């Protein structure tokens, strides 16, 4: 689980609820009509804007972000060095037998095993990376749009509440509930946007950046393998994608295997 996201949401909700509880009655901030207007309206407008499959993919991606830890680029570097050892000791054909859950890496190994040229490998893998960026952009845009729609429906709910309040001025007992709808819908819209939708879009974007870095590492690693670079050169080249303070040194035992060929 992504502890940063979990901690942020829990702490944010806790602070808001605590502030409400200290200042008065928590029940005053619960209004079914306001939730129907803001949440229901936001979901409905999102479905109008995007295809249903894109909305479902966005929510699945959000679940994945919160439930899975991000892949460490250092692991991608180490993986490519291990593949370079296999190619140097047993030949490129052995890379076609490598078992991996990464479809990108499987495609790269397949191209290497087939003896594809550097231009073919770079073109094929670059297309994969660009396609991933486009798919992820749509997923991020779903939550960005929801972050815009929620406050807008909050204002719409405020207008509805004001109209109801003004139409019932002759009955003072109904002014309070109407005013509650008017104010709480704005609160709900702002809360959903600032604490959920926009942060999730930002988290998805940061995950996309990290994933692209990992794919670029695998792409450049594949090019280095086809050029028969030794593991030391591959490590120095691929570690450039990682901040110097975050780089992990590869075990010397792994690097020394370059001399076994």
Please count the structural domains in the chain: 2
pLDDT for the residue numbered 251: 64
- Say if residue 260's pLDDT is above 80: no
Q: Are residues 151 and 97 in the same domain?
A: yes
For residue 226, pLDDT beyond 80: yes
Note the pTM of the prediction, 2 decimals: 0.83
pLDDT (mean) for 66-81? 85
Domain residues for the domain of 17 are 1-30
254 pLDDT higher than 90? no
* Residues 1 and 119 grouped into a single domain: no
Place 256 in a pLDDT band, splitting at 50, 70 and 90: low
Average pLDDT over residues 80-103: 90
Mean pLDDT of 232-251: 86
Task: Give the whole-angstrom CA distance, residue 156 versus residue 186.
Answer: 8
- With tokens 């972050």, the residue in question is 147
Over the chain, what is the mean pLDDT?
87
Is the domain of 117 the same as that of 235?
Answer: yes
CA–CA distance, 57 with 133 (Å, rounded to integer): 14
- Find the farthest-apart pair of alpha carbons in the chain and give their distance in angstroms, rounded: 93
Could you tell me if 89 and 81 are in contact, meaning their C-beta atoms sit under 8 angstroms apart?
no
User: Which one is predicted more confidently, 200 or 178?
Assistant: 200
- Residue 49 in this model has a pLDDT that exceeds 70: yes
Nearest to 211 by CA among 116, 128, 145: 128
pLDDT one-digit tens code per residue, 17-41: 888 888 777 777 888 888 899 999 9
Residues 131, 242, single domain; the answer is yes
Split at pLDDT 50, 70, 90, the class of 54 is very high
Specify the higher pLDDT residue, 69 or 84: 84
Contacts of 143 (CB under 8 A, 6+ apart): 58, 62, 197, 198, 200, 201, 204
Same domain, 18 and 37: no
């Amino acid at each position: 689980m992504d502890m940063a996201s979990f901690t942020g949401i829990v702490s944010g909700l806790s602070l808001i609820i605590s502030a409400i509880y200290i200042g008065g009655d928590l029940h005053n901030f619960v209004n079914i009509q306001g939730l129907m207007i803001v949440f229901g309206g936001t979901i409905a407008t999102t479905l109008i804007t995007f295809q249903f499959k894109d909305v479902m993919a966005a929510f699945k991606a959000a679940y994945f972000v919160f439930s899975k830890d991000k892949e460490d680029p250092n692991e991608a570097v180490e993986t490519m060095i291990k593949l370079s050892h296999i190619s140097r000791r047993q030949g490129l054909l052995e890379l076609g037998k490598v078992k991996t859950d990464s479809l990108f890496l499987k495609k790269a190994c397949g191209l290497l095993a087939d003896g594809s040229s550097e231009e073919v490998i770079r073109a094929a893998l670059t297309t994969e990376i660009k396609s991933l960026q486009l798919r992820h952009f749509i997923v991020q845009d779903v939550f960005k749009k929801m972050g815009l729609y929620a406050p807008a429906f909050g204002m719409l709910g405020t207008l509805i509440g004001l109209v109801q309040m003004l139409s019932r001025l002759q009955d003072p007992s109904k002014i309070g509930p109407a005013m509650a709808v008017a104010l709480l819908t704005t609160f709900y819209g702002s809360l959903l946007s600032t604490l959920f939708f926009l942060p999730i879009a930002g988290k998805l974007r940061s995950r996309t950046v990290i994933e692209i870095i990992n794919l670029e590492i695998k792409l450049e690693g594949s090019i280095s393998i086809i050029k028969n670079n030794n593991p030391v050169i591959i490590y120095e080249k691929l570690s450039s994608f990682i901040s110097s303070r975050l780089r992990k040194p590869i075990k010397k035992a792994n690097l020394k295997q370059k001399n076994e060929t």
